[in-house]
Amino acid sequence: MLDQLRQLAIFAKTIDHGSFRGAARALRLSPSVVSHHISQLEESLGVVLIYRSTRKLSLTLEGERLLVAVHRMLEAVEEELVDLSSSAMMPTGELRLTVPSVLSQSRLTDSIGAFSMKYPGITLSLDFSDVRQDIIEGGYDVAIQMGLKKSKSASTRTLFSVKRQLVASKSYLADRPKVSRPEEISDWDWLELAPVYHIKPSFKKAGAKLVSINPTARISANDAQALYRLARFGTGLAIVPEFLATEDIDSGTVEHVLPDWNLDPAYVTAAWPANAPKHGLIKLLVNELSQDETLKNTHPKDDH
């Protein structure tokens, strides 16, 4: 069958070019090979397709009928190849993502929007939650996660890092003494993010030893944006991503507590099922996000 398909294509190319020699040049074969294939086709079909002369080729009635059918077949194949090529260049499909709610206020959301505009054939479903979701049970294709350690598994990739700050409202700090060390604020009113309550804050400063404290939380919440809103209202201290507090710090309603001391950054990681296709939509999204310079510039990886 495969040999006959090849013979049909050579037959059509021979008639299109008007000679064995012309078809041979187009197909990069010798004229004798072209003639041989057409003879084999005629033999298998039991009919004469081409009348041969020293000056030109002419089709028999059977040859004319077959040529119409072969042209129709070749056109259909060529159209399908073009469609497949276009699909490869413009991917289509659906991706389901789970993303930390706090990152809805970051440049990551802009980057996801840019991805959607670049690939309009891909439908995105976004689930924002600060409660870490299970990729398999939730039916997600990609899970964007935040943590204090870089991921090193084969089915994850660290995208960028986010600076964290200890903040409080100006009104909360107004009646409290000026402090210079983390130990001095361990008994203040702390607000903590419930999913990471077990991770106690550690502060670093150039020329000083690492200082870890174990404060007792007055309020615990599972949403980082709600936690920050409580801190901004004046309820207590909270460790939040820097981008949440930037505008309020600039306006003076919120202050950076212990500005000379630094916290470890949070790393934003993409995770996906281990059996995901190596060159599918998941990898396309992860590659686009990891190469997005706006994320790297906004959240520098070398914090301190």
DSSP string, 14-39: HHHHTSHHHHHHHHT--HHHHHHHHH
Residue 270 within any structural domain of the chain: yes
Residue 200 within any structural domain of the chain: yes
User: Which pLDDT belongs to residue 152?
Assistant: 75
pLDDT digits (tens, 9 = 90+) for 96-118: 999 999 999 899 999 999 999 99
Q: Which domain holds residue 85?
A: 2-89
Q: Which range has the top average pLDDT, 65-79, 256-270, 278-292?
A: 256-270
Number of domains in the chain: 3
Same domain, 149 and 294: yes
Same domain, 235 and 112: no
Same domain, 284 and 150: yes
Average pLDDT in the chain: 88
pLDDT digits (tens, 9 = 90+) for 168-227: 999 999 989 999 999 999 999 999 988 776 788 999 999 899 999 999 999 999 888 999
Q: For residue 177, what is the domain's CATH number?
A: 3.40.190.290
Same domain, 73 and 211: no
On the CB side of 21, CA atoms within 13 Å amount to 3
CB-based contact 163:298 (threshold 8 Å): no
Residue 303 within any structural domain of the chain: no
Q: How remote is the C-alpha of 198 from its chain's centroid?
A: 31
Per-residue b or e along 127-144, where b marks 16 or more CB atoms closer than 10 Å to that residue's CB: ebebeebebeeeebbbbb
Residue 46 region, left (φ>0) first, then alpha (ψ -120 to 50), else beta? left
Same domain, 30 and 172: no
Residue 304 has pLDDT above 60, yes or no: no
Residue 304 within any structural domain of the chain: no
User: 178 — phi, psi (to 5°)?
Assistant: -70, 135
Same domain, 75 and 124: no
Same domain, 135 and 226: no
Q: For residue 156, what is the domain's CATH number?
A: 3.40.190.10
